[in-house]
Structure formats: C-alpha cells, structure tokens
Amino acid sequence: MPSNQKSGKFQKVSPLSILFILTLSATCLAQSLSGGLKQEAGEHIAQAGTKAEQREKLANYKGKNGILSMKTIVLGGEFRVTTIIPFKGNLAEYHHLELVRPVSLVGGALTSQVSNQQLAKLKSQFEARKLFESVTVIDAYSTAVASQPQKQSHKNSYNLDGAEGDSLDSPIGSFSDMQTRDRQRALKDQKEEPPSERTLVTVIEVLDYAKGNRIKQLLPLDLGKSILTVRLRYYDKASGQEIGRQIISGQSDGSSLLGPLSRRDALSGVADGFVDQVTRRVAASEK
C-alpha cells in the first residue's frame, strides 16, 4: 500500500483514537477520585462509629479489683481507690478530657521527667480506651477564671435574671435596649453547653512518691517498693464546679509472681485505677 494512503488513514483514525483515549482517561480519573473520596468518607464514618461503639460496649463493663486480680497477682502494680467527694451529675455527658500536669506536694521527689512519664501513661491509657473524643494535656487550670462571670457594660447593665430589666418601675428603654433584654432572656433559656462539647478537667496532685528499687525487691524482705499516691480533682471546665474527688494509691513490690521482672510499677496501678474509675461512671451513666 502506498505510503500516502497509509498516512491518510492514520490522519482519519488518529483524532477518533485520541478522543477515545481522553474520554477513557477522564472516566478513570473520575472513578479514582470518587473511590478515594468514598474511601475517605468511609474511614471517617468508621472512626466515628468506633467512638460510639466504645461507649455502647460499656453496658457490660465490670469494674477492676485493684488488689485481688490475675493481673496484680502475676504482674503486680495493684491500686486502691478512696472516693472523698462522690461524683455529681452525668459523667457520660463529657466528651472531652483535659489532664492538668501533676502538682507535686512531695518537693523535689517528683522530677519533671517523672511527671511527664505519668502524663504520657495516663493519656495513652485513656486514648486506648477511647472514652473521649479528645484527650489533651494542659499546664494549669484555675476554677476562679472558669467560674468568673462576664463583665457587662454599664449601658446594658440588665442582669440575666431580669430583676432590673423587667421591673415595672424601670424606665422605658430604647428599641436597642429591648432587643438586648430579649437576647438575654433567650440566653437564659438555653442550655449552658451542649453535651458533645462538655469538657472534664482532672487536676492531679501527687501526695506520695517513691521510685522503688528492682534489686531490693529480689530480697525476701519488704524493701524497694514502688509507691505513688495521687489526689484527683474532677472539674466541669465551663462552670469550674468540682464534681468529684478521689485518692488513688498504687504500689509494686516483689510479692507478685513475676515480682521485679515485671515492667509494671506503682504508676501502672494508679493509671489502671484512674481509667477504671472514670469508665465505671461513664458506663453507669450510659445504662
């Protein structure tokens, strides 16, 4: 076949082929993007479902025995809990947790390194349990700042209770004043904060601490104990109200089966007790 005829056919077929290839490429690209978006959306839905499932599964949760359990007998790291102020309200309404850096009441025995280790342990325990949407660490928390009422200007000095603004003896206000009063009444009728945004703040105060000695734990004497005692104060972040208070003490010695060979220490016991106490109350509120 002459070369000019071949080139003519190629010129006729070539535009159609290019158009078909471009159409096919665009279709594949659209399917790929759509599949990626669907997969990403599916992952978000799965993650959200996992968070919801974690609390649903708490219906059959059984609290831990910090002294006599298989874990403490074999690995050590037992704990004791004393509730000083019973918890108030529904703990399941809190979906965010903030851990305040431990406050040392034992002087220099608690170094910043040990304090950071405690926080990392507690944070990882709560994240593994997936009770809260977020678990963050904060440097300090002041109840005075949280509970301080917002200052109102002198021009619009009508309190939310309406004692001054709704009094029959009060002067007739302008249209803007009446709008302000209506907004204040609406704010008063609204809930303080939606449950999904409520934050539980835990202040950690270290009352007693001893690192312990693994070598001394090998001796047939009651030596080398690892001891940690903390006082936990639970606050509603928005109102600054203390809703509970506990003392959790943990220890580890050579009395367990693995004894000093175990990696668990007093901090492990306190972390288990802390997470268990919060989980119990969330589970009780979910039922």
SS (H, E, C) the chain: CCHHHHHHHHHHHHHHHHHHHHHHHHHHHHHHHHHHHHHHHHHHHHHHHHHHHHHHHHHHCCCCCCCCCHHHHHHCCEEEEEEEECCCCCHHHCCEEEEECCEECCHHHCCHHHHHHHHHHHHHHHHHHCCCCEEEEECCCCHHHHHCCCCCCCCCCCCCCCCCCCCCCCCCCCHHHHHHHHHHHHHHHCCCCCHHHCEEEEEEEEEEEECCCHHHHCCCCCCCCEEEEEEEEEEECCCCCEEEEEEEEEEECCCCCCHHHCCCCHHHHHHHHHHHHHHHHHHHHHC
Amino acid 285: pLDDT: 75
Amino acid 50: pLDDT: 40
Domain 65-144+196-286, CATH: 3.30.160
Amino acid 167: pLDDT: 57
User: In this structure, what are the phi and psi dihedrals at residue 264, rounded to the nearest 5 degrees?
Assistant: -75, 145
Amino acid 122: pLDDT: 93
Amino acid 168: pLDDT: 54
Q: Which residue has the tokens 């969330």?
A: 282
**Cβ pair 198, 212 in contact under 8 A:** no
Tokens of 210: 């001893």
Amino acid 25: pLDDT: 52
Amino acid 23: pLDDT: 52
Amino acid 275: pLDDT: 94
Amino acid 80: pLDDT: 93
pTM of the model: 0.65
Q: What residue segments make up the domains of the chain, in order of their start?
A: 3-57, 65-144+196-286, 151-189
Number of C-alpha atoms within 13 angstroms, CB side, residue 70? 0
- The whole-number mean pLDDT for each consecutive block of 10 residues of the chain, a chain of 287 residues, reads 48 50 49 46 41 65 80 82 92 94 90 90 92 94 71 43 52 73 64 71 95 81 86 95 95 79 84 93 79
